[in-house]
Amino acid sequence: MFDRITLVVGTRHIEKAIKLIPEWWCILHAVERGDSILLEPHRPGALNPSPPYLVAQLLWKAEAIAVLEKFKLASGWRSKTVDLIHRRLAEELPFPELAKQVRESLKRRAGWL
């Protein structure tokens, strides 16, 4: 999950790329000018409109419970399914806070490969 995505594409592939990628992706057109390549804005990007639930799903159950605990929302939820826990996070936390908590959890992960 990325908050924003920018695609850099050459003239040969730009039309096909526009048809394939989501509207919220930024497109920079790589144009050859003499000995240089210039990146010209073709389409502005926007924030990823993914529903909060999809962002919450990036968390493992223990991580999701830890976030609930941090916001004093875990009471009665530790034994629930991970799906229900993800839904609770998505409903209870404002999206910017949820995204922040997910980013922090992902950065703390070790030995998961």
Give domain limits for the chain. Answer: 6-43, 52-108
Q: Which residues pair with residue 59 across a beta bridge?
A: none
> CB of 63 within 8 A of CB of 96?
no
pLDDT at position 2:
80
DSSP letter at 25 equals: S
Sheet containing 6-10: order of strands: 6-10, 26-33, 36-43
pLDDT at position 69:
97
pLDDT at position 111:
78
pLDDT at position 37:
95
- What is the three-class DSSP state of 35? coil
For the chain, which residues score pLDDT lower than 50? none
DSSP letter at 71 equals: T
pLDDT at position 49:
86
